[in-house]
Amino acid sequence: MNAPMRRVAMVSIALFALLIGNLTWVQFFQSDFYANHPRNTRVQLEEYSRQRGAILAGSEPIATSVATDGELKYQREYPDGPLYANLTGYKSLVHGSSGIEGAENEVLSGSDDRLFVDRITDTFTGREPAGGNVILSVNPKVQEAMAKGIGNSVGAAVAIDPKTGAILGQFTSPSYDPNLLADHDTNAEAEAWKSLNGDGDRPMLDRSASDRYPPGSTFKVIVSAALLEMGYTPDTMVPAGNSYSPPDTTHDITNSNNQCPNAQMPLKEALALSCNTTFSRLCVEEIGPEKIAETAAKFGFEEGYSTPLDVVASTTGTLGDKATLAQSCIGQNEVAATPFQMAMLSAAIANGGTRMAPHLVKELQAPDQTTLERTTSEKLGDSVDPEIAAQLQEMMVGVVNNGTGGNAKVDGVVVGGKTGTAEHGDGVPEHGWFTGYAMGDDGKPAIAVAVFLDSAGDGGSGEATSIAGSVIRAALGK
């Protein structure tokens, strides 16, 4: 064979090898990618030819599929769309899925391996195939109380069962209607997508878990935990006063409304009255940055969660110099937390110091409603010893009964908590916060809750506290 023929043959062989290699790559290594690609219309027709399973909050369906007269046999519907949008997410022909729709897609679509027998049975019996159901731990009354309380304000709320980690409510405002993104009219869906993503109020942002904010005075609970671990007690006399000048700065730490004029007071009173000067001074002169970072981490800071929905990690940021530490210990500077994390803080304290893994999914069901999987409680770790937790409970109850958290009171119920006001820019109204818990009639922790109101201004923490009280009443049926 002459040289030109050999070159042609070698090129042909190389091209053939590349063709076989590409075919192998597509067929074996990228098969799932192409099979599940949103633009694969064959897959869409197959998927929408069977009824997708329901998502339920308790016994209430919050995402269902209904029959249509179109080429796609079923349409996804969300009966209370904006109320649960951050949890259900959306199921879109164009933009795929999010939230529980995405996280539990295999069960909902019926493609989960545990439903293989159901699929085989459907083939032989002629029964119409369907997806499985996802039951959430959310209490609809709690979710509704959050939505009613926050109203048209910008904010979020989270409620957790401290004993189990089950999420009882998780709401964000403003919200959006996922029905708009489930529309089979792709032009209408595209317009809705563009409008939602172009909205300056960011209705598709889950403020409860996907964004972080300075927690203000709610962070003083963590500072209190550090002090108690160092040997302080709720009755230890600590420095107060209405002004403190940290080293290396000309900026004075002050209190609002002259609420801490005495030179000294018990630690529990300093927390109840939310004395900035006390906690800044003690952080700088007694605790130090390493202990604060360590204590915050034991409560979950610097750690993300999956419920299975992602929760971004809260952070203490840089605690370095003394001037910075003084601000950080009153929840300012670079300290940033999700409402979810602040609910986890109170949950751990209410649960005797034990932090449970948060979970949103209570049960996965087959199409015939038999159980595929039921979530079991899992311990993440001990934030503080039970003795320290009991002292923190005493101090937080004092905040509600004798301090700034009076709006969270519920008749006949032991409620503990901490309010917070957080600056986040010059000339911008402050954020309002509350984190707390309530005990049930059996004396065991029933609910932990955090409420965040963005730029609520004067009185914002009081309003957040009132909302938390309403959420507690809804959870306990009071």
450 burial (CB, 10 Å; 0-12 / 13-18 / 19+) is buried
Q: How far apart are CA 303 and CA 341, in angstroms?
A: 9
Q: Residue-wise over 103-127: b if at least 16 C-beta within 10 A, else e?
A: bbbebbbbbbeebeebeeebeeeee
Residue type, 47: E
217 catalytic per annotation: yes
Single out the catalytic residue among 217, 224, 328, 383: 217
172, 147 in Cβ contact below 8 A?
no
Whether 132 contacts 53, CB under 8 Å: yes
What CA dihedral angle connects 69, 57, 301 and 374, to 10 degrees? Answer: -100
- Whether the CA torsion 276, 279, 283, 284 is positive or negative: it is positive
Structure tokens at 179: 């029905």
317: number of CA atoms within 13 Å, CB side?
Answer: 17
Whether 78 and 178 have beta carbons less than 8 Å apart is answered as: yes
Residue pointed to by tokens 């070159």: 7
Q: Which residues are catalytic?
A: 217
